Amino acid sequence: MYTLLRILTSILLIAFANSYVSDYVEKSSEASIEETNWVDEKEIRDRLSVIAAEKFSHHYHEHPQIEVQNVTKTKSRSVIRSAVEKTRRKRDGGIVSGPVATALVTGMIGMTAKTVAELTSFNPRLSEGGCEWFGTAPLCNFPCPSDYDYIRANNGRCSSWWLSGFCSPDPSFGKPCSTILGDYFSKRFCCKSDPMECTWSGRWMGANTAHNIYCRYDNVGKCGTIDCSINHFTLKAQNSSEITGDRCDRLELFGLRGKATCGYIAWFNEDGHIVNSWYKTRR
């Protein structure tokens, strides 16, 4: 009788634990590797939509471009080109200097490949953006700093049940939060974009996935091309895209369509719904 009671108790406990939905539901094999399906996915995407609208409203990446200025006379174009070449020769004797050569390697969001090649000055800088978890275990309850975007919350456990096991969303999460008060304690994943860092090349971080992505720009074609690699502890992937759009701010990677501005890329699925975003980071 005692043995039977123990078996029944164990079955009830397992059923009770399984009744809580895990914070992360496996995505279908057809979904993009940059598309997630968290339990609160709808709320996350709603936030991403608001964030994207705010980012693009500033038009950070809409740089003045020589080829689209109202220069109507051939003579005027020749004068501008001559002045540019004269400045180049005076600066470096006809050899492209270090900072300008860097621009050819990094590219500039919003600039054509031709405009990048004609730059006479370029000041490379490290991005001040990126994403990280805020909150200290076990009583995690810290808001995003004012200059960060709130993306999502997680307690680092498989549910909000007080005996729940550990289910860390990614290696950077750290120790899990207490569930003594249910889902009250949780860390917040917050991201910050740097509007002054407008290059394509470098490190990006996925807001929904925490994937670390390294991208490399190539100054070919109208707007250039970009090759990106995901280096995650459970995922390795690589994809490349031609940069397109009237403002040279559109691309397609990993089955998603992206729109970029300085320090930020919003990703949309085939239905036009935002599903993720990347933030330029120095880490």
In this predicted model, what pLDDT tens digit does every residue of 39-66 receive, in sequence order? 999 999 999 999 999 999 998 887 654 4
Complete edge-to-edge strand list for the sheet that includes strand 202-206: 235-242, 225-232, 212-218, 202-206, 274-281, 264-268, 256-261, 250-253
CB of 278 within 8 A of CB of 213? Answer: yes
Report the C-alpha gap between 190 and 208 in whole angstroms. 10
Report the C-alpha gap between 75 and 145 in whole angstroms. 53
pTM over 0.75: yes
Residue % of the chain over a pLDDT of 70: 75
Residue with tokens 């009830």: 12
The pair of structure tokens assigned to 78 is: 């020749």
Arithmetic mean of pLDDT over the chain: 80
Residue with tokens 């900072």: 99
Residue of 68 and 225 predicted with greater confidence? 225
Query: Hey, how many other C-beta atoms are within 10 angstroms of the C-beta on 218?
Result: 18
- For residue range 159-190, list pLDDT tens digits in order: 888 788 899 898 889 999 999 888 899 999 99
CA 88, 89, 90, 92: dihedral to nearest 10 degrees?
Answer: 80
Domain positions in the chain = 37-63+86-129+194-283, 133-192
Please give the average per-residue pLDDT across 136-149, as a whole number: 94
Report the C-alpha gap between 200 and 40 in whole angstroms. 31
pLDDT given at position 98: 59
Report the C-alpha gap between 132 and 191 in whole angstroms. 7
pLDDT given at position 121: 74
Among the ranges given (11-15, 58-62, 98-102), the one the predictor scored with the smallest mean pLDDT: 11-15
pLDDT over 70 (residue 191): yes
